[in-house]
Chain A
Amino acid sequence: MKPLLIARNLSRNFGGLKAVDMVDFSVNPGEVRAVIGPNGAGKTTLVSLLCGRIEPSSGVIGFNGEDITRVPAHIRVRMGIAYTFQITSIFPNLTVYDNVALAAQRTLTDGRSRKALDASVRDAMLHVGLTERASTPAAALSYGHQRLLEIAMGLALHPRLLILDEPTQGLSDGEIKDFIKLVRDIRKETTVLLIEHNMDVVMRLADRITVMENGRILAEGAPRSIRANAKVQQAYLGTADG
């Protein structure tokens, strides 16, 4: 299968620190991929390189058959790479509806009717279950709902690849359950790249798992084989998450 996203020899240095170090990485269309690893392993840097928020020191990135290494972030979004932030990043003074509309309106700017925008916004809100809070200012939402709003904004972009950076951080058990259901729903339409610390979520959602350590890829494979991998157990599973 031709990969949707592909990175070759991707590196990023911050001063002397090699946050991402000669990484080869690819995501196939339709899969749910999880990236795991201890804090500081380079996960967020990796996805930031992929979505264009930071520039690589070296290496190439391809998306859907095109070289996007030098493509600015906002164009990558238009090409179909959506990124939801690790630290909730919404427009606090705007309502839920207007937040989602900001994501949706750009894709509908060229001559489509207001109705299409409205339908698109309502569709995204319905997906994550925020329809009833459409006119609530985003700042007044609970933390869990703010995370859902982030995802709704991502969905409203109609991405081909949705990157979720630690989406379940700070959510309650009940909310995590709903989140798993949501991603299973989302994956019918889009490829998902997930950075996640919660191993239960990773094991239940991911088709394949990429394990990072010190800016490099330590292992990659199906959940079962990752769980059985001695190197991974030593580096990650055996320590922080027990």
Chain B
Amino acid sequence: MNIGKQIILHIAVIALLAALDYVLPAYHQGVFSRIMVLAVFAMGYNLLFGYTGLLSLGHAMFFAAGLYGAGLTVYHLGWALPLAFVAGVGCAAVLALAIGLLALRTTGVAFMIVTMMFAQVLYLATLYFGQWTRGDEGIVLPQPTRLVEFAGLHFDFSNPVTRYYAALVLFAAVLLITLGIVRSRFGRVLIAIRENEDRTRMLGYNVFANKLAAVVISGAISGASGAAYALLFGYVGSTFASVQYSILPLLWVLLGGASTTLGPLLGTVLMYYLVDFSSDVLARAVPDWNFSYLGVVGIALIVLVLFFPKGIFGTIRAHWARWLP
């Protein structure tokens, strides 16, 4: 059955990531820790965009809510890391509930604009409350706050190996949760809403409530990514609330394949390295152009939408492996 193949594939991906830790050089180990955390963000985004068909242009606010919810409670209140993580996720979930109640009154382009505007409000708020957030400059979490004692074991999240496995644990948990959701009846209703909202309503489903649940879960997952980012990499700054962090998850998901469970990871990996390489190459080739990586992002987005709308896993599913979730 498909479910067997699906579970084996997902476990294999997780195992592969675990094994990578042993072979990757230090730099790429750090990159992959970051990618796994950001892929969680992409998976959260995918649940709403890919599966439910709601295009948000404001997901940076949920990532930032997690980032600040976790970072500020550690920095100002001295909370322990697990508690701070929960605070981050909680902030994002509550924010998502409030935003969902308002933004879901709109559809289509209006939904994009409304979510984008709310995200801008949060971004500006992080600058406005600079005395706590230190705005653009941001906060570096001091090393002693990044230690955790759990069941008699000590974890130091400034240690690269600990960080890698912490990122992997979060990634694996969210990947399996996503797989569970999209295979569940709830997941099928989300897909049904994406495919034909009016019909879904006339089958007796409360479309608004289902969409709201999708926004909250998507927001909470994005928040978990933000919280983990703050705690693992020890930095909290308003860049992460800016509009580019709303565009990036869209790009990652499109590249890897919208409404595929593994697409977000692949998209994040490829885009991260593309930006990484191209910045170097461009800086060397045309040093006086001062080419921003956002240019690469923009071009990639246009090319994807025009020529490759299903993304990598979407294309694989359409042609070779219909069982991909």
- The minimal Cβ–Cβ distance linking A71 to chain B, given in whole angstroms, is 12
Q: A103 on the interface (CB 8 Å rule)?
A: yes
Using known A-B contacts A102-B188, A105-B185, determine if residue A90 contacts B196 with beta carbons closer than 8 Å.
yes
Q: B200 on the interface (CB 8 Å rule)?
A: yes
Inter-chain CA distance A106–B207, complex, in Å, is: 13
Q: A58 on the interface (CB 8 Å rule)?
A: no
Q: A157 on the interface (CB 8 Å rule)?
A: yes
Inter-chain CA distance A85–B201, complex, in Å, is: 12
Of listed B185, B196, B203, B206, residue having the most chain A CB within 10 A: B203
Q: A225 on the interface (CB 8 Å rule)?
A: no
Are B185 and A109 interface neighbours, CB within 8 A? yes
- The minimal Cβ–Cβ distance linking B127 to chain A, given in whole angstroms, is 42
Using known A-B contacts A102-B188, A102-B192, A105-B185, determine if residue A90 contacts B199 with beta carbons closer than 8 Å.
yes
> In the complex, which residues of chain B have a beta carbon less than 8 angstroms from the beta carbon of A105?
185, 188
Are B196 and A89 interface neighbours, CB within 8 A? yes
Are B202 and A106 interface neighbours, CB within 8 A? no
Inter-chain CA distance A153–B191, complex, in Å, is: 17
Are A98 and B188 interface neighbours, CB within 8 A? yes
- The minimal Cβ–Cβ distance linking B238 to chain A, given in whole angstroms, is 40
Q: B137 on the interface (CB 8 Å rule)?
A: no
Inter-chain CA distance A48–B231, complex, in Å, is: 53
Q: B233 on the interface (CB 8 Å rule)?
A: no
Are A102 and B200 interface neighbours, CB within 8 A? yes
Q: A124 on the interface (CB 8 Å rule)?
A: no
Are A106 and B188 interface neighbours, CB within 8 A? no
Using known A-B contacts A91-B192, A105-B185, determine if residue A73 contacts B202 with beta carbons closer than 8 Å.
yes
Are A77 and B202 interface neighbours, CB within 8 A? yes
Can you name the residue of chain B whose Cβ is closest to the Cβ of A92?
B195
Q: B189 on the interface (CB 8 Å rule)?
A: yes
Binary CB contact string for chain A from 43 to 83 against chain B (1 if under 8 A, 0 otherwise): 00000000101000000000000000000111101100011
Chain A residues at the B interface, C-beta cutoff of 8 Å:
51, 53, 72-75, 77-78, 82-83, 85, 89-94, 98, 101-103, 105-107, 109, 153, 157
